[in-house]
């Protein structure tokens, strides 16, 4: 894309491919599942034009970045170390960290554990909920009992990979433009039984939403044809490990300036109670709900998201 450069940097013993643009204070953009740096294609030029050095890595396991084979290589401690090391590789002391989906969880955790390195934080779609009262997988088993739930389906290595990689273009089209398996409010998802897959009962739509092009889908499909889905899925397989390794998340407060943005129709709102984050993020400046927007918020509604990000960034101390 014009104005965006690419390079590979070494951090925390691995290599991260990054897309970057602009000069000025560093802004780090962290994508979610199943995405890539390309999810920020509308934000990178806008933030760069406003006077920021914008860096969007492919998270480990994705795109052009290293993809270690071990499940535990994707625990939150390793991911946070990647991003602290990325600041070092860039020669920067601090950054504003912005994340979407799993990238939001990473951003919140970066801010919680390293307030000296991450001077402000923005979460898109996923709020900061601290630490659950019990390990997440046990909690999900209690909540969903015999009902199908995508996080539980993702736990067995190799199962979801085989399904999602069987026809990558179809998978990507269904997840981004159709009914994704994480939409627990959708009838096709609610009617699933144990043993069903992430794509069971749903079909890729013939027509794309206005915010998504065939070229966009082709880019994502090419990235996952290269990397596969295992790295991203391994993030879900570390939820209990994170719970045990990061007990401080139960009480630590994020004292930096913060912003939360979510789509009104994001299916994650059904099981991520936003109000729980308020005592953990006392300097949350705004909780913005964008009417009509879904989960892929920065791609669906780039103008509104960019305006909110720039309003927040320009409010920060120089």
Query: Catalytic site residues?
Result: 101, 295
Nearest-CA neighbor of 11 among 70, 92, 71?
92
Q: Give the integer Cα–Cα distance in Å for 299 and 224.
A: 18
User: How many alpha carbons fall within 13 Å on the CB side of residue 164?
Assistant: 27
Q: Hey, how many other C-beta atoms are within 10 angstroms of the C-beta on 21? A: 20
Query: Number of helices (H) and strands (E), helices first, in the chain?
Result: 13, 8
Task: Give the position of tokens 């407060």.
Answer: 253
Q: Hey, how many other C-beta atoms are within 10 angstroms of the C-beta on 69? A: 9
Q: Give the integer Cα–Cα distance in Å for 288 and 146.
A: 35
Bridge-based pairing state of the strands 53-57 and 14-21: antiparallel
Q: Give the integer Cα–Cα distance in Å for 50 and 230.
A: 36
Q: Give the integer Cα–Cα distance in Å for 209 and 239.
A: 32
First to last CA, the chain: 29
Structure tokens at 209: 């939403």
Backbone angles phi, psi at 131, to 5 degrees: -125, 130
Q: Give the integer Cα–Cα distance in Å for 276 and 305.
A: 23
């Amino acid at each position: 894309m014009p104005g965006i450069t690419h390079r590979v940097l070494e951090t925390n013993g691995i290599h991260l491919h990054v897309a970057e643009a602009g000069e000025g204070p560093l802004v780090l953009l962290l994508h979610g599942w199943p995405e890539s740096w390309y999810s920020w294609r509308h934000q990178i030029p806008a933030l760069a034009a406003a006077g920021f050095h914008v860096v969007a890595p492919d998270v480990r396991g994705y795109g052009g970045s290293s993809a270690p084979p071990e499940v535990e290589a994707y625990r939150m401690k390793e991911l946070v170390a990647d991003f602290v090391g990325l600041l070092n590789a860039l020669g920067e002391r601090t950054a504003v960290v912005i994340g979407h989906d799993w990238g939001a969880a990473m951003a919140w955790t970066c801010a919680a554990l390293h307030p000296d390195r991450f001077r402000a934080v923005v979460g898109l779609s996923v709020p900061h909920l601290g630490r659950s009262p019990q390990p997440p997988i046990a909690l999900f088993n209690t909540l969903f009992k015999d009902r199908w739930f995508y996080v539980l389906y993702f736990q067995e290595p190799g199962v979801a990979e085989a399904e999602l990689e069987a026809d990558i273009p179809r998978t990507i089209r269904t997840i981004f433009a159709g009914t994704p398996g994480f939409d627990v409010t959708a009838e096709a998802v609610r009617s699933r039984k144990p043993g069903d897959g992430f794509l069971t009962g749903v079909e890729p739509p013939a027509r794309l939403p206005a915010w998504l092009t065939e070229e966009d889908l082709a880019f994502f499909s090419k990235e996952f044809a290269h990397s596969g889905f295992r790295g991203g899925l391994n993030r879900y397989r570390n939820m209990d490990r994170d719970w045990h390794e990061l007990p401080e998340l139960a009480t630590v407060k994020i004292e930096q300036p913060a912003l939360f943005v979510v789509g009104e129709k994001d299916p994650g709102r059904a099981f991520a109670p936003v109000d729980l984050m308020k005592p953990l993020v006392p300097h949350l400046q705004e909780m913005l709900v964008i009417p009509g927007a879904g989960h892929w918020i920065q791609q669906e509604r780039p103008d509104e998201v960019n305006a909110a990000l720039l309003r927040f960034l320009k409010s920060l101390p120089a």
